[in-house]
Amino acid sequence: MTLTTQGTGGQVAEEAPPALEITNAWKSFGHVSALRGVSLTVRGGEVLALVGDNGAGKSTLVKVLSGVYPVDSGNITIAGVPLERADPRLARSRGISTVFQDLAVVETLDIAANVFLGQPLRRFGIFADRKQMISQSAAILRSLKVRVPSVRVAAGELSGGQRQGVAIARAVRQDNPIILMDEPTAALGVRETAQVGEIIRSLREHGKAVILVCHDLEFIFAHADRIQVLRLGQVQGVRDVSATTRTEIVSLITGAIARDVDGEVSE
């Protein structure tokens, strides 16, 4: 059972497995069922937006994808290979980079050090290869169209949008095919939001599969290819951005439009 659009699913799935696929994921915390049979597919060069009201299961899904929570049942496959257990490092090494909401930059270190935080380039085993880190981080930021005065500027001096750019650059540097962004625009102003939009566009051009968890429908309609609506732990519907309207998405979020029938409703 896959959730696909406009009936192309069967053939494409045979040609190339999706960058990331979740099938029928269930997850409960005590009596609360956070995910009730959620499926999700995202391909390289595609931006998938995940939307839903509070308690719809978005954050749980993000944590499942980044390897923080194990699922109770269901499968996660990355490029066709199943992810056997929940472990953030395993998820990262298998191809999912997560840009968390709280950005996670070290303000006292410069941009280059932040881009390579935890995974520095080495010289003679123990020394930091600063020259390479400086030139590579500069190039990554440039390719993401993030403008900074110099990569030797401390991250604490940057605006929110630039910091988000640094956090994304770190994910990009890991060169993973899947990038998961949790509320990348939550704390940003108008101009900075536009900057993040630019970065997402550039990631898509580079063939990345981007999963965007976001509240901002205007932003989503500007930057996503597909929108997947979660409601009460289930997939309420999946729509191509080109073939839907804000009203329809809002109706899906609130439940005014009934759930797409692609699996049995529990209870």
Residue found under tokens 């995940």: 50
Region of 46 on the Ramachandran plot (φ > 0 left; ψ -120 to 50 alpha; else beta): beta
Cα(192)–Cα(258) distance, rounded to whole angstroms?
A: 36
Q: How many binding residues for another protein (CB under 8 A)?
A: 52
CB atoms under 10 Å from CB of 254, counted, come to: 12
* Bridge partner residues of 212 (DSSP): 49, 181
Of these, 33, 41, 60, 136, which contacts another protein (CB under 8 A)?
Answer: 136
Crossing angle (nearest 10°) for helices 190-205 and 160-173: 20
8 binds another protein (CB under 8 A): no
The 98-127 site mask, x for binding another protein (CB under 8 A), equals --x-xxxxxxxx---x---xxxx-x---xx
145 binds another protein (CB under 8 A): no
43 binds another protein (CB under 8 A): yes
Q: Provide long-range contacts, Cβ within 8 A and 24+ apart, for 77-85.
A: 77/17, 77/18, 77/20, 77/21, 77/23, 78/19, 78/20, 78/178, 79/17, 79/18, 79/19, 79/20, 79/177, 80/17
In angstroms, what is the minimal distance from the CB of 108 to another protein?
4
Per CB under 8 A, which of residues 197..236 are in contact with another protein? 205-209
Q: Which is nearer to another protein, 108 or 247 (CB)?
A: 108
150 binds another protein (CB under 8 A): yes
77 binds another protein (CB under 8 A): no
Which residue in 187, 190, 211 sits closest to 200, CA to CA? 211
175 binds another protein (CB under 8 A): yes
177 binds another protein (CB under 8 A): yes
Which residues lie near another protein (CB under 8 A)?
A: 15-17, 19, 43-45, 79, 89, 100, 102-109, 113, 117-120, 122, 126-128, 131-132, 134-136, 138-140, 142-143, 150, 152, 154, 156-157, 170, 172-173, 175, 177, 205-209
